[in-house]
């Protein structure tokens, strides 16, 4: 799981809970790679590994980007791994740049996944994309999507 700004926010809390589910219920090891650690007082379960983003270049695992910054890193990785871009937020609403977001949403190097049915419909109307839905890091839904 790739998170640009690890901190006391919904994304970090949900990703940590998902990581615990994966680690406890599969033979996979799920970790969170971060670019910036914005809240040093952040607590996550002991079973959640936190690593700096620079260490993902050694990864041979499934990688999941959660925003444009981490999707840009996924795009640049030279390794042959399964890649997902989990659309946690509709960033283009806050920082409108249709062409920029189009190059990430339409990228074939990873599978784009919507966080909700609402996001899926917005992507379908705006970009003509039909994406699977993975609701708020639902463990069972991801198992089906990733085949784990």
pLDDT tens, residue by residue, 65-74:
998 888 888 7
Question: Is the C-alpha dihedral spanning 62, 101, 9, 35 positive or negative?
Answer: positive
| Residues composing the chain | 148
Helix 98-105 with 117-127: angle, nearest 10 deg: 110
Residue 78 in this model has a pLDDT that exceeds 80: no
Best CA proximity match to 32, nearest among 9, 10, 8, 56: 56
User: So what's the pLDDT on residue 93?
Assistant: 61
Domain spanning 2-146: which superfamily?
Glycogen Phosphorylase B; (3.40.50.2000)
Range among 10-24, 96-110, 115-129 with highest mean pLDDT value: 115-129
Listed as own residue / partner, the contacts of 41-45 with beta carbons closer than 8 Å and 24 or more positions apart are 41/8, 42/6, 42/7, 42/8, 42/12, 44/12, 44/16, 44/19, 45/16, 45/19, 45/20
Q: What's the Cα-to-Cα distance from 89 to each of 117, 118, 119, 134, rounded to whole Å? A: 13, 11, 9, 13
User: So what's the pLDDT on residue 114?
Assistant: 92
Confidence of residue 24 (pLDDT cuts 50, 70, 90): confident
Domain ranges (residues) in the chain: 2-146
In this prediction the pTM is 0.83
Best CA proximity match to 68, nearest among 44, 54, 89: 89
Confidence of residue 95 (pLDDT cuts 50, 70, 90): low
pLDDT tens per residue across span 29-60? 788 888 876 666 566 667 778 888 877 777 77
């Amino acid at each position: 799981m790739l998170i640009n700004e690890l901190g006391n926010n919904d994304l970090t809390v949900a990703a940590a809970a998902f990581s615990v589910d994966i680690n406890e219920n599969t033979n996979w090891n799920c970790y969170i790679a971060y670019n910036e650690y914005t809240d040093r007082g952040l607590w996550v379960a002991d079973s959640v590994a936190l690593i700096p983003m620079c260490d993902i270049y050694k990864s041979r695992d499934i990688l999941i980007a959660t925003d444009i910054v981490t999707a840009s890193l996924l795009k640049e990785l030279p390794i042959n791994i399964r890649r997902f871009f989990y659309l946690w937020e509709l960033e283009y609403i806050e920082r409108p740049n249709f062409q920029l977001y189009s190059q990430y949403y339409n990228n074939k190097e990873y599978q784009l996944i919507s966080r909700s049915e609402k996001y899926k419909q917005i992507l379908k109307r705006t970009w003509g994309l039909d994406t699977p839905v993975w609701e708020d890091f639902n463990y069972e839904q991801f198992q089906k999507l990733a085949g784990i």
